[in-house]
C-alpha cells in the first residue's frame, strides 16, 4: 500500500488538515508541544487531534512514553522526599541526644562530662538510634 492509498483510505491527515507544511518551524514546534501537553494531561481540548489511524497510533505511543517518563520523575521525587525525611529524623535524634546529655549534666551537679566519655556515649547512641 502506498502513502497516497493510505491517505485516501484514512482521510485527511493531521499535516494536511491543519496545513502544517505552510507554517513556520517555530509555529509547528509550539503546536507540537501544545498537542503533547494536552494529550499527556488528558485534557484533550480537541482543537488539534489525530485525523488518521496512523496518527492515532503515534498519539498512543506519545501517551505511553509520556506516562512512563512522568512516572519515573514522580518516583524520583518521592525518593528525594523520603531521603529528606530520613535526614530530618537523624537531626531529631541528635536533638534527643543533646537533651540526654543536658539531663546527665543536671544530675552530675552541673559538671560537664569528660570529652572522651561524651564522644564515646554520643557515638554509641548515634549508632543505636
pLDDT in tens, 55-86: 778 878 888 888 899 899 999 999 999 888 87
Question: Residue 76: what pLDDT?
Answer: 94
Integer Cα distance of 12 and 52 in angstroms? 7
Of residues 10 and 29, more confidently modeled: 29
Integer Cα distance of 92 and 90 in angstroms? 5
What is the overall mean pLDDT for the chain? 77
Question: Residue 78: what pLDDT?
Answer: 94
Q: Are residues 93 and 47 in the same domain?
A: no
Q: Are residues 65 and 125 in the same domain?
A: yes
Range of the domain at 70: 59-129
User: How many independent structural domains does the chain possess?
Assistant: 2
Q: Are residues 39 and 66 in the same domain?
A: no
Integer Cα distance of 23 and 19 in angstroms? 7
Q: Are residues 37 and 85 in the same domain?
A: no
Q: Are residues 45 and 86 in the same domain?
A: no
Amino acid at each position: 500500500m502506498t502513502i497516497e492509498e493510505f491517505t485516501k483510505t484514512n482521510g485527511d491527515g493531521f499535516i494536511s488538515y491543519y496545513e502544517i507544511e505552510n507554517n513556520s518551524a517555530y509555529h509547528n514546534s509550539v503546536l507540537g508541544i501544545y498537542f503533547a501537553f494536552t494529550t499527556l494531561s488528558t485534557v484533550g481540548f480537541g482543537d488539534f487531534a489525530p485525523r488518521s489511524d496512523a496518527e492515532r497510533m503515534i498519539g498512543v505511543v506519545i501517551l505511553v512514553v509520556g506516562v512512563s517518563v512522568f512516572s519515573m520523575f514522580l518516583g524520583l521525587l518521592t525518593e528525594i522526599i523520603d531521603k529528606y525525611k530520613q535526614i530530618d529524623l537523624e537531626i531529631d535524634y541528635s536533638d534527643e541526644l543533646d537533651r540526654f546529655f543536658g539531663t546527665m549534666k543536671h544530675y552530675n551537679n552541673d559538671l560537664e562530662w569528660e570529652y572522651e566519655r561524651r564522644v564515646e556515649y554520643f557515638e554509641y547512641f548515634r549508632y543505636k538510634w
